[in-house]
Amino acid sequence: QVQLVESGGGLVQAGGSLRLSCAASGRAFSTYTMGWFRQAPGKEREFVAAINWSGSRTYYGDSVKGRFTISRDNAKNTVYLQMTGLKPEDTAVYYCAAGQPITPRGWTGHGNYDYWGQGTQVTVSS
């Protein structure tokens, strides 16, 4: 069992930056693929980024590629999402997710993740 708690969301102007954190408790965090997803009102949950167990491989959704960076610190049981160049269309609730095992082909599918955080709101004003 893994519990996930996101933090770091808030209100930011377009072009600004935020760093989201996801703290995990429970065993074997370092063995999990970690992902970030987001969901805006009236829209489906969207894949944002994922990172493998060691941090050596990452993958990003097309809409955030080049602006967002996912990383993890297994010693701190924490995964991060550094967001730069924020746009109003990035406004959403951001969720952290953990899954094991997930092959890279499955990283973008929210159904492949077993554990989810409660989400943190990110609002980007124009």
| Confidence tier at 20 by pLDDT (50, 70, 90) | very high
Summarised one tens digit per residue, pLDDT across range 52-97 is 999 999 999 999 999 999 999 999 999 999 999 999 999 999 999 9
Dihedral angle at the C-alpha atoms of 40, 44, 45, 49, nearest 10 degrees? Answer: -90
Distances from the Cα of 20 to the Cαs of 1, 42, 88, 102, 114, in angstroms?
A: 22, 23, 17, 22, 20
The mean pLDDT value for 115-122 works out to 98
Higher per-residue pLDDT: 20 or 27: 20
Q: CB-side exposure of 121: number of CA atoms within 13 Å?
A: 5
Identity at 3, one-letter amino acid code: Q
Query: What does the pLDDT read at residue 26?
Result: 80
